[in-house]
Amino acid sequence: MNRLRDNLVFDCATSRALAASFSFKSFLPPELFRPILQFIRPSDFNYRLCLVSHSFRDDVEAHFYRYIAVPEKRLLHFCRTMIARPDLARRVQRLAFTGAVHREPEPGDTDTVAQMMKLLVNLTDLSISQSIHLRQPGERPWPVDYDDVRILQDCPFKLERLACVFTWAEPLSQWLATQPQLASFEHGGYPGDDPVHLSTSDATLMGCSYLRISPYILACYEEREKPQPVVLRYDMRFSDAQEELRAAQSLRDVSRNLKCLTLTRQTLTEYLSTSRILRAFADKAPNLTCLAIYENIDYSAGENKRILRVIKEHFTKLQVFVWAPLNYPVARDEDGYTSSSSGFSIDSCTEEEMYSFDKTERYALAMFDAVPSMRMFISFRKGPCYVWWRGPAKQVQDGPSEPRPFKRTRLSMGLSEDTFREVDPNEPIDLFVTNVPHGPPLAVPRVIRIYNAPIGPPPSRSRKSIQYM
């Protein structure tokens, strides 16, 4: 027993001596830290990485605080972190959040958010979305609501991208005029009660190449120069036939550079045909390479022929066509049956063929025959998303061209009206083949979990003073 005790004492003493004589330095060169961090997705980030070492903490924070997606109801926690750590606030370049908080809203919450926003000096990408937790009538709204544009006032950052749900009114348009470098703007809100007036010298949205807007925004540019986007999502919601016609005609003045167009439409009882909407601006959009149409109505056989005819005559550079009728809930008549139950092939069909892949394939083949440049036909009609894909044309000298390979498969990626953000306007087929989005990642809420994110001091202070939310 004594011998065992002596051995333990010796081993402990030897270990302490070795530890004292050994210089604990990183075996990994510091310049390799950040390349390694590039392989970790922000959604997989674990804040315990900050505890590896002081130098590793600096690199971890520099990498992962560039892109912050605040989960639902954690906005005030994030604000407290940024206010307590202005050094972290300077690192944030992309930010996404909703206005919901973890408790009942209080009068000073919006001011807290505004204080936090003023610390984000290097912010370039901002996304403010509507919360999934809706407030009931009579309840105090969330700290960031439709009319809280004031959280952006006097902020030092210069945004390149903004997605927001603020009401389209004078306060928002005036603030946008202070951001001439803005390249992408997505508006998911509603129009205000009073019309917005833009002067001829107003630069609002004039530099944007990516836009998500509604007809009431384009109406503000009457009798003056309009934006010329390359990628456009145009939301036509709950308008009558005359309003839809005016909305379609307004696209004539913004289609000069247009390559990717996504039309989203939810109709009322009276509505304009889809082919009439396309024909209203088709001759002014000769460079279109990707067209997506999401609607809550179905198409008759005759309407499908008319859509094909417009595409054949005007969209001679079209490569991708997303065909998505019945993509929203359809209003039902009093007898319980839908008012748009017509067939959708270019030929007449029986009721049994209503959801036949063969029938859809006939329409896809007709599109390919009509438009030689078309490479992909995507069907997203009330169900699974399938794609008909044709290979590139082969150049053959001194002889007839070889037939182009053609196949049908199920689309391996999720498809929605927001897919327009990720499409390469010059090579739109690449996204659907490789599933690799075009351009840098965009700020989208509820990606990073920061429930245990620390409110700590700058790295120069002791780690013991770190406090947790």
DSSP string, 166-231: --BSHHHHHHHTT-TT--EEEE-S-B-SS-----TT--TTTT-SEEEE-HHHHGGGTTS-----SE
In tens, the pLDDT along 20-72 reads 444 444 466 767 777 777 777 666 667 777 777 777 787 788 778 888 889 88
Q: Which residue has the tokens 């001011």?
A: 111
216 Ramachandran zone, left/alpha/beta (phi>0; psi -120 to 50)? alpha
Query: What single letter denotes the amino acid at residue 432?
Result: F
Q: Six-digit token pair at 295?
A: 């609607």
- For residues 129 and 166, what is the distance between their CA atoms, to the nearest angstrom? 9
Instruction: Compute the radius of gyration of the chain from its Cα atoms.
Output: 28
- For residues 296 and 314, what is the distance between their CA atoms, to the nearest angstrom? 25
The more confidently predicted of residues 15 and 287 is 287
Of the listed ranges 40-49, 54-63, 196-205, 258-267, the least confidently predicted one is: 40-49
**3-state DSSP assignment of residue 12:** helix
- For residues 435 and 412, what is the distance between their CA atoms, to the nearest angstrom? 8
pLDDT of residue 396: 59
Q: List helix spans (H) across 291-356.
A: 301-314
Mean pLDDT of 352-369: 78
The more confidently predicted of residues 63 and 449 is 63
- For residues 128 and 96, what is the distance between their CA atoms, to the nearest angstrom? 6
- For residues 284 and 253, what is the distance between their CA atoms, to the nearest angstrom? 8
pLDDT of residue 43: 60
> What's the distance, Cα to Cα, between the start and end of the chain in Å?
50
Q: Six-digit token pair at 182?
A: 């803005």
Residue 449 has pLDDT above 90, yes or no: no
What's 332's DSSP letter? B
- For residues 47 and 450, what is the distance between their CA atoms, to the nearest angstrom? 8
- For residues 189 and 358, what is the distance between their CA atoms, to the nearest angstrom? 40
CA nearest to 293, candidates 253, 257, 265, 334: 265
Residue 148 has pLDDT above 80, yes or no: yes
